[in-house]
Chains A and B, each alone.
Chain A
Amino acid sequence: KQEVTQIPAALSVPEGENLVLNCSFTDSAIYNLQWFRQDPGKGLTSLLLIQSSQREQTSGRLNASLDKSSGRSTLYIAASQPGDSATYLCAVLPYGGSQGNLIFGKGTKLSVKP
């Protein structure tokens, strides 16, 4: 059974710091991995999607890596800003599944202090 774990559960950093969020999954048979951002009481915003054949994806100050064989992904946020404060979710799409089969981690709650 696929399980997704995110560490740490919460993180507080001063503005301007670079930071790394971690995601691990137990079954490497995945189609892709996505990082989402969730603001309090709001929906999900897709940040980055990494296909199983890819090693990383970049968008602005965000960089996500994927090591499928070891079951790990990281989300790197450069020069953090208070506006980055949110919960970051990692989700994997098991191989052969449709988007409804996304398996989510519990998220990392990030707080960036001015």
Chain B
Amino acid sequence: GAVVSQHPSRVICKSGTSVKIECRSLDFQATTMFWYRQFPKKSLMLMATSNEGSKATYEQGVEKDKFLINHASLTLSTLTVTSAHPEDSSFYICSAPGHRNTEAFFGQGTRLTVV
């Protein structure tokens, strides 16, 4: 099956700093990628949809200026958490749809801890 690689798997940063998370489709092209967030004991929730060559679309309640998304190529999308605060500590995970658009392939996820 298709492989999506997400990096880093775990990051600890200080309040006020920015963190970049990468999501790569390794053996297929993805014009669209999705970013989810999962708080402890909560469901995975879609944050934004990353579109290659155009602006990302954000879900209601997600600050686009805080969570910067760049999808510069057909195999790479990045999520940058700017001016991170402890409440941004969460599990972030990306996915890319398969060619049938009814399957999703997920990255390994990134555990972000802001101290």
Residue numbers of A with Cβ under 8 A of B are: 4, 31-32, 34, 36, 41-46, 49, 51, 89, 91, 93, 98-107
Contact = CB atoms under 8 A, between A and B. Distances in A.
B44 A49 contact: no
A99 to B, nearest CB: 4
| Interface size of B as a range | 20 to 34
A98 B34 CA distance: 10
Contacts of B43: 4, 103-107
A98 B32 contact: yes
B32 A100 contact: yes
Contacts of B44: 89, 91, 102, 104
Contacts, number: 64
Contacts of B105: 46
Contacts of B45: 104
Interface string B4-15: 001001100000
Interface of B: 1, 6, 9-10, 32, 34, 41-46, 49, 91, 93, 95, 97-98, 101-109, 111
Given A4-B43, A41-B9, A43-B108, A100 B103 contact: no
Nearest to A40: B111
Contacts of A46: 1, 103-106
Contacts of A104: 43-45
Contacts of B106: 36, 43-46
Contacts of B97: 98-100
